[in-house]
Amino acid sequence: MSLPAPRHFLDLWKLQGADLRVMLEDAKARKAARAGWPKGKPDEDQPARGRTLAMIFEKNSTRTRFSFDAAMRQLGGDVIISNAVDMQLGRGEPIEDTARVLSRMVDAIMIRANVHEDVERLAMSATVPVINGLSDKGHPCQILADLQTFEEHRGPVAGKTFAWVGDGNNVCSSFIHAAPKLGFKLNIATPAVFHPDMMDLARAAGEQGQIMTTHDPREAVRGADCVITDTWVSMGDTDHDERLEALEAYQVDEALMAEAARDAVFLHCLPAHRGEEVTDAVIDGPQSLIWDEAENRIHAQKSILAWCFGAI
């Protein structure tokens, strides 16, 4: 008898909108249920009790590393964390073999990878759930936390307009993946050289996603309910100077925020480069939700983990 396929969390476009909605509602409920508790106290139901998550990092991380660790503790489980460079993976052991070995030792694997294909290869050979903790092609965990944050402050995302301004990068891709699944509109302003992934746009179009691309940040932001940006130089990018020059006109400042809806909010996954993609006045201003957004990485990831473990 063959085992059921593990529930991987690799890319939002591969998931059902209904499952994303289940995760979002679970994240909100779990957060509310433990309001005021010490952060190390486990949730009542402890759906990860007896389970261990392995985390592999090929790139730096603050939020993803600490939030997954805290999340597993709150779910009653445990973690083993390693930088890839300290593993045999860093000396050329095939990622498929790493997947097979870790699947015998832990109950789920999270990887932050340089190359998205490696996340896919890990999942193909793993017999436990694999979670994409950021690759060059996506950051699905982040978008769940972002959408939770928006909904806590402004209600359901369905029918709302999100505006992405800046680099058409991995985080932008995951917003494109989420838009048709959860029914929000997405306007994207990037320079031509840093356009969003055409395959992502084609997929979203195939799902009747309402996505508009432009080179004009004002056009993207006009009337939007949420304005989002991210660093102009992502981990692994080597063309720093070219990026800063091409993206200069895409800074989110107060004048640009004034084009959005009056009650628009601002999101940024962090780490931020104040004075580059966003000004101090916006990121530290009254419309910014960045600290709730960062905190929600824990709550959203608990729901992702609970879903991977089949507990929701």
Positions touching ligand NVA (CB under 6 A) are 134, 169-171, 230-231, 234-235, 269
82 makes contact, choosing from ligand NVA, ligand CP, none, with CB < 5 to 8 Å by partner type, with none
Give me the least distance between CB of 21 and ligand CP, in Å please: 22
Closer of 213 and 231 to ligand CP (Cβ): 231
Report the alpha-carbon angle 27-150-154, nearest 5. 115
Closer of 106 and 134 to ligand NVA (Cβ): 134
What does the DSSP assignment read for 92-133? T--HHHHHHHHHTT-SEEEEE-SSHHHHHHHHHH-SS-EEE-
What lies within 8 Å, CB to CB, of 256 at 6+ separation is 165, 217, 218, 221, 227
62 makes contact, choosing from ligand CP, ligand NVA, none, with CB < 5 to 8 Å by partner type, with ligand CP
Retrieve residue 223's tokens.
């009337």
Give me the least distance between CB of 250 and ligand NVA, in Å please: 14
203 makes contact, choosing from ligand CP, ligand NVA, none, with CB < 5 to 8 Å by partner type, with none
Give me the least distance between CB of 270 and ligand CP, in Å please: 5
Closer of 26 and 167 to ligand NVA (Cβ): 167
Expressed in angstroms, the distance from the first to the final Cα of the chain is 24
Containing 294, the helix (H) or strand (E) segment is: helix 290-308
What does the DSSP assignment read for 72-94? HHHTT-EEEEEEGGGSGGGGT--
171 makes contact, choosing from ligand CP, ligand NVA, none, with CB < 5 to 8 Å by partner type, with ligand NVA
Give me the least distance between CB of 117 and ligand NVA, in Å please: 16
Residues that bind ligand CP (CB under 6 A): 61-64, 134, 142, 269-270
**Catalytic sites, residue numbers:** 112, 139, 142, 230, 269, 297
CA-to-CA separations, 169 to 71, 156, 210, 243, 247, in angstroms, rounded? 26, 25, 19, 12, 12
Closer of 95 and 134 to ligand NVA (Cβ): 134
Question: Do 200 and 175 contact (CB within 8 A), yes or no?
Answer: no
Give me the least distance between CB of 134 and ligand CP, in Å please: 6
Closer of 12 and 269 to ligand CP (Cβ): 269
Q: What is the DSSP letter of 232?
A: S
Closer of 62 and 214 to ligand CP (Cβ): 62
Give me the least distance between CB of 305 and ligand NVA, in Å please: 19
Q: Which residues pair with 268 in a beta bridge?
A: 229
Q: Which residues pair with 95 in a beta bridge?
A: none
200 makes contact, choosing from ligand NVA, ligand CP, none, with CB < 5 to 8 Å by partner type, with none
135 makes contact, choosing from ligand NVA, ligand CP, none, with CB < 5 to 8 Å by partner type, with none
Of how many residues is the chain composed?
312
What lies within 8 Å, CB to CB, of 204 at 6+ separation is 13, 176, 177, 179, 180, 211
Residue nearest to ligand NVA according to CB distances in the complex: 234
**CA 243, CA 232: separation in Å to the nearest integer?**
6
